[in-house]
């Protein structure tokens, strides 16, 4: 569904992403794992049309995405939940969700889609008239994801949905993601929380300082001792 | 219903006031109506998007200068139409090139734009036409100017009210909150910002055109005075730039205060003006309407 080939992103002399190649098959959940500064956000920025790659290709359903502005991606079925939640604090939950349906492809059946979002996040249904800015971090993340779902995406891009959330809230967010995953939506998730992400994902790429250092089915990655040490908090992390 | 009827009654009352006030009073009314228009039109674009524009006077001055150049060759209606077209075209060209600038870069650019227009006109007048000042002699009474400006103010506020409820208003608010999310929700950032910028600029230009006969003698340093841009911003901010009546609420009292200060303390007026600017930004950063609502909310909370 989404193919990325030899994608390179450089800010001046600094190379943020070095010839990354990855593949997202329809109906799967693919994770990109890595620490701060590994180049994960640059990669999502390039797919989302905010960052101009220096070289390489991004192909979605046979069409190149390079040079396409963000608002057109929505019409093609790509929804992005940016890092830091990306909600509109001054608007109610309901208005935040309605906003997600502003795209042409979502214009028909917005109400039905809203019901689906409420079914995925019952909490949002209870608090539909609350101002989004007054909600807890985890609830705001749900609003952001719900908003993205309102555009009826075929591909959902998530940029660090667990960032800055308390562990118990992270659990809640991932439980919601697992429900979304069951609907068959294709998901590309960028995360630092490797353990929780690997529980859900089908396939994972590991990133270190701007390059992809490993890839494999999530079940396999989970049990790889090198990965456990580097990404899942092994002995090294414990002594810190 | 009262949200429509009350403003209409107010408008009707304001329309008959010039029949009973003195010439000085009428001058004050025109000034107040002009600044209500300028501040409301400024807020139409800047209030929701948080793009602070200091280019108000670029359009206002362009409007006044259009009248000064064309008033002897064209009818008044045609002159106004030309002014609107010229203002809109400048905004379109400038907006296409610069609305991707954000924050302080846009502020500085918009300030530079006003200076650029002023210097270009000065250069053209000195080197090509050979005259710097121009006279505006139009067969328009002061009352007619007031009624036109009052009408423009009413149209601006009605337009703002309509935009606030429309998809365009929603898109503008969202752009002001977070452009990244707005784009990923499917909003065409460039088109929405440009549309609002051009609408706002056309009104600013018309305000300059309508008020220009009051100047009689026009030259670039008069109609492109940057103080007009600053006053507009501070008025809109005082009332609350993202509220429908905010700019009006800021413009009327501030205009009266400025008038009083400039006639009573002509020498220290700029100093007092600066202090007032600082005061507004420090004391009511969210605008009077929001501050009052917060105070009322607190009082309610204390009682309940």
Three-state secondary structure along B169-193?
HHHHHHHHHCHHHHHHCCCCHHHHH
The predicted pLDDT at position B1 comes to 62
pLDDT in tens, chain B (304 residues): 678 899 999 999 999 999 899 999 999 999 999 999 999 999 999 998 989 999 999 999 999 999 999 988 999 999 999 999 999 999 999 999 888 887 889 999 999 999 999 999 999 888 988 888 899 888 899 999 999 999 999 999 999 999 999 989 989 988 888 888 888 888 899 999 999 999 999 999 999 999 999 998 999 999 999 999 999 999 999 999 989 999 999 999 999 999 999 889 888 888 988 898 898 888 888 888 888 888 887 766 555 4
Question: Are the beta carbons of A102 and B187 separated by less than 8 Å?
Answer: yes
Name which of B180, B186, B189 is nearest A82 (Cβ-Cβ): B180
Encode burial over A159-187: b for 16+ CB neighbours within 10 A, e otherwise. bbbbbebeeebbebbbebbeebbeeebbb
Question: Residues 174 to 213 of B: which have CB under 8 A from any A CB?
Answer: 174, 177-178, 180-181, 183-190
Distance CA(B42)–CA(B160), nearest Å, equals 11
* Interface contact B50, partner A, CB < 8 A: no
**A226 assigned to some structural domain:** yes
Residues of B in contact with A74 (CB under 8 A): 184-186
Domain extents in chain B? 2-225
pLDDT value for B210: 96
CB contact under 8 A, A147 and B185: yes
Measure CB to CB from residue B180 to each of A73, A86, A100 and give the nearest one: A86
CB of A190 closer than 8 Å to CB of A167 = no
Nearest CA distance, B227 vs chain A (angstrom): 32
Q: Which residues of B touch A69 (CB under 8 A)?
A: 183, 188-190
What value of ipTM does the predicted structure carry? Answer: 0.76
Q: Is residue A115 part of a domain?
A: no
The answer to whether A104 faces chain B, any CB pair under 8 Å, is yes
Q: Say which residues have a Cβ less than 8 Å from residue B43's Cβ, sequence separation at least 6.
A: B160, B236, B241, B242, B246, B247
* B177 → chain A, closest CA residue: A88
> Chain A contact for B167, CB < 8 A?
yes
Q: Evaluate if residue A191 carries a pLDDT over 50.
A: yes
Contact between chains at A70 and B184 (C-beta distance less than 8 A): yes
**Number of separate domains in chain A:** 1
Q: Is A89 on the interface with B (CB under 8 A)?
A: yes
| Of A131, A101, A129, the residue nearest A114 (C-alpha) | A101
The DSSP secondary structure of B118-147, one letter per residue, reads HHHHHHHIIIII--S-EE---S--HHHHHH
Domain that holds residue A13: 1-77+186-232
On whether the CB atoms of residues B235 and B39 are closer than 8 A, the answer is: yes
Does the beta carbon of A103 lie under 8 angstroms from any beta carbon of chain B? yes
CB–CB contact B181 A90 (8 Å):
no
| Chain B contact set for A144 (CB, 8 A) | 181
Determine, for residues A71 and B174 on separate chains, whether the beta-carbon distance falls below 8 Å.
no
Residue A62 lies in a domain: yes
In a domain, A18, yes or no: yes
Contact between A103 and B185 using a beta-carbon 8 Å cutoff: yes
Q: Shortest CB distance from B185 goes to which of A69, A89, A100?
A: A100
Instruction: Flag whether residue A184 sits within 8 Å of chain B, measured between CB atoms.
Output: no
* Per-residue DSSP letter, A104: G
B-chain CB neighbours of A148 within 8 Å are: 184
Q: Among B171, B178, B186, whose Cβ lies nearest the Cβ of A74?
A: B186
CA–CA min distance B186, chain A (Å): 4
CB of B214 closer than 8 Å to CB of B145: yes
Helix (H, G, I), strand (E, B) or coil at B298: helix
pLDDT tens digits along A36-61: 777 888 888 888 888 888 899 999 99
Residues on chain B touching A71 (C-beta within 8 angstroms): 183-189
Q: Which stretch, A11-15, A74-78, A83-87, B37-41, has highest mean pLDDT? A: B37-41
Candidates A69, A79, A88; nearest CB to B177: A88
Distance between B171 CA and the closest CA of chain A, angstroms: 8
Residue A231 pLDDT exceeds 80: no
Q: For A91-145, write each residue's pLDDT tens digit.
A: 899 988 988 888 888 878 888 889 989 988 888 999 989 998 899 888 899 999 9
What stretch of H or E contains A74?
helix A70-75
**Chain B interface, mutation test: which of A52, A70, A104, most B Cβ atoms within 10 Å?**
A70
Q: Please report which helix (H) or strand (E) contains residue A20, including its range.
A: strand A14-24
**A151/B186 touch (CB, cutoff 8 Å), yes or no:** yes
Chain A residues within 8 A of B167 when measuring between CB atoms: 102
Place of tokens 């909370």: B301
Chain B residue numbers touching A70 (CB-CB < 8 A): 180, 183-184
The domain that contains A192 carries what CATH number? 3.40.50.300
Considering only CB atoms, A102 lies closest to which of B177, B180, B186, namely B186
Q: What is the pTM of this model?
A: 0.84
3-state secondary structure of B12: helix
Q: How far is the C-alpha of B144 from the C-alpha of B44, rounded, in Å?
A: 26
- d(CA A181, nearest CA chain B) in Å: 21
């Amino acid at each position: 569904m989404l193919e990325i080939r030899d994608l390179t992103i450089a800010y001046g002399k600094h190379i943020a992403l070095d010839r990354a190649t990855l593949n997202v098959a329809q109906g799967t959940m693919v994770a990109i794992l890595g620490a701060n500064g590994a180049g994960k956000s640059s990669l999502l920025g390039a797919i989302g049309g905010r960052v101009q790659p220096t070289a390489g290709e991004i192909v979605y359903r046979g069409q190149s995405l390079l040079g396409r502005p963000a608002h057109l991606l929505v019409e093609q079925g790509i929804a992005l939940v940016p890092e830091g939640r990306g909600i509109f604090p001054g608007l109610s939950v309901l208005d935040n969700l309605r906003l997600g349906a502003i795209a042409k492809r979502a214009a028909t059946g917005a109400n039905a889609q809203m019901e689906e979002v409420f079914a995925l996040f019952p909490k949002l249904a209870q608090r539909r008239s609350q101002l989004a800015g007054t909600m807890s971090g985890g609830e705001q993340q749900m609003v952001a994801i719900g908003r993205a779902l309102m555009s009826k995406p075929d591909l959902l891009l998530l940029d660090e949905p667990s960032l800055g959330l308390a562990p118990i809230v992270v659990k809640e967010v991932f439980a919601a993601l697992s429900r979304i995953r069951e609907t068959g939506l294709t998901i590309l998730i960028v995360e630092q929380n490797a353990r929780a992400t690997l529980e859900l994902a089908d396939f994972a790429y590991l990133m270190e300082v701007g390059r992809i250092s490993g890839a494999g089915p999530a079940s396999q990655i989970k049990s790889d001792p090198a990965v456990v040490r580097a990404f899942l908090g092994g002995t090294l992390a414990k002594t810190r | 219903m009262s949200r429509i009827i009350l403003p209409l009654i107010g408008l009707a009352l304001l329309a008959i006031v010039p029949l009973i006030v003195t010439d000085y009073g009428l001058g004050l009314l025109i000034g107040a109506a002009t600044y209500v228009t300028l501040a409301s039109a400024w807020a139409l674009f800047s209030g929701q998007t948080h793009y602070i524009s200091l280019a108000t006077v670029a359009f206002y001055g362009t409007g006044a200068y259009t009248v000064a150049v064309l008033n002897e060759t064209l009818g008044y209606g045609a002159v106004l139409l030309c002014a609107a077209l010229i203002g809109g075209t400048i905004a379109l060209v400038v907006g296409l090139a610069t609305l991707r600038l954000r924050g302080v870069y846009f502020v500085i650019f918009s300030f530079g734009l006003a200076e650029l227009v002023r210097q270009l006109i000065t250069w053209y007048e000195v080197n090509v036409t050979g005259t710097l000042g121009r006279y505006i002699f139009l067969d328009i009474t002061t009352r007619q100017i007031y009624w036109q400006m009052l009408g423009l103010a009413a149209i601006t506020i009605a337009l703002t009210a309509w935009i606030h409820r429309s998809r365009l208003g929603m898109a503008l608010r969202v752009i002001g909150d977070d452009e990244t999310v707005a784009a990923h929700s499917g909003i065409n950032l460039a088109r929405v910002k440009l549309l609002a910028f051009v609408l706002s600029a056309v009104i600013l230009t018309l305000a300059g055109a309508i008020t220009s006969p009051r100047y009689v003698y026009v030259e670039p340093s008069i109609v492109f005075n940057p103080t007009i841009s600053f006053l507009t911003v501070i008025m809109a901010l005082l009332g609350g730039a993202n509220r429908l009546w905010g700019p009006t609420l800021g413009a009327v009292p501030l205009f009266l205060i400025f008038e009083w200060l400039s006639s009573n303390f002509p020498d220290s007026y700029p100093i007092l003006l600066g202090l007032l600017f600082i005061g507004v930004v420090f004391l009511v950063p969210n605008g009077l309407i929001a501050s009052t609502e917060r105070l009322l909310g607190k009082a309610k909370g204390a009682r309940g």
